[in-house]
Amino acid sequence: TGLHAVDGGPARCWGCQGHADYESYHDNEWGYPVADDHRLFEKICLEGFQAGLSWLTILRKRENFRSAFADFDFRKVAEFGDDDVERLVLDAGIVRHRGKIVSTINNAKRALEMVKEEGSLGAYFWRHEPGPEDRPTKLDHATLGSLGKTETSTRISKDLKKRGWSFVGPTTVYAFMQAMGIVNDHLDGCHCREKVEKARATFKRPK
């Protein structure tokens, strides 16, 4: 079923098995709808950093990432220069991948442009909210993220790249959509699925 339960506890999606911090993330964050631009920017950047790694690795470094990248305030990150890149490459608390670090700074600049053009990041991403028929070609709930893609995530990825964003491939975008509640991929039988559905039902989509 893709579910697990420990010592009579609630059934959860398989991906968070055995890790208390992962279970907390699954229960309290993953799939709940988000409109806040800082959180949206943070998540799409962290999904880019995750490429080739597990989300658990990124989750355990998240506070370090927040400290290193000015709490993902893209207005501040957009001002980072070469000295900041060198500082971050030496920061053992984050993933020291020069390309991903440079990408985050680039994407902060692109985020500023998007806010000017679209009103907010939330308005942009939520206008791409898909219908239930747009399902991924492949899902691996063991990672609490998609290893697949959909027509919608592919379309968003292409548009973001056209706008100059980087490290935003279709699978990265779909994992972002899952995490930010743009879709609800908690499995049937997971104790969070109904709560997320209720949250999505009352959520005010940004315009």
Grouping H, G, I as helix, E, B as strand and the rest as coil, residue 192 is coil
Residue 55 bears catalytic tag: yes
Q: Look at residue 144 in the predicted model and tell me its pLDDT.
A: 57
Written as six digits, the tokens of 202 are: 């009352």
Given 30, 55, 126, 165, which residue is catalytic?
55
Task: Respond yes or no: is residue 47 known to be catalytic.
Answer: yes
In tens, the pLDDT along 78-128 reads 999 999 999 999 999 999 999 999 999 999 999 999 999 999 999 999 999
CB-CB neighbours of 93 under 10 Å: 12
The yes-or-no answer on residue 194 being catalytic is no
| Catalytic residue (one of 23, 30, 32, 47) | 47
Bridge-partner residues for 13, per DSSP? 3
Cβ atoms of 150 and 185 closer than 8 Å = no
Nearest residue to 99 (alpha-carbon basis) of 48, 62, 146? 48
- Give me the catalytic one of 22, 25, 124, 165: 25
- Tally of CB atoms within 10 A around 106: 17
pTM (whole model) above 0.85: yes
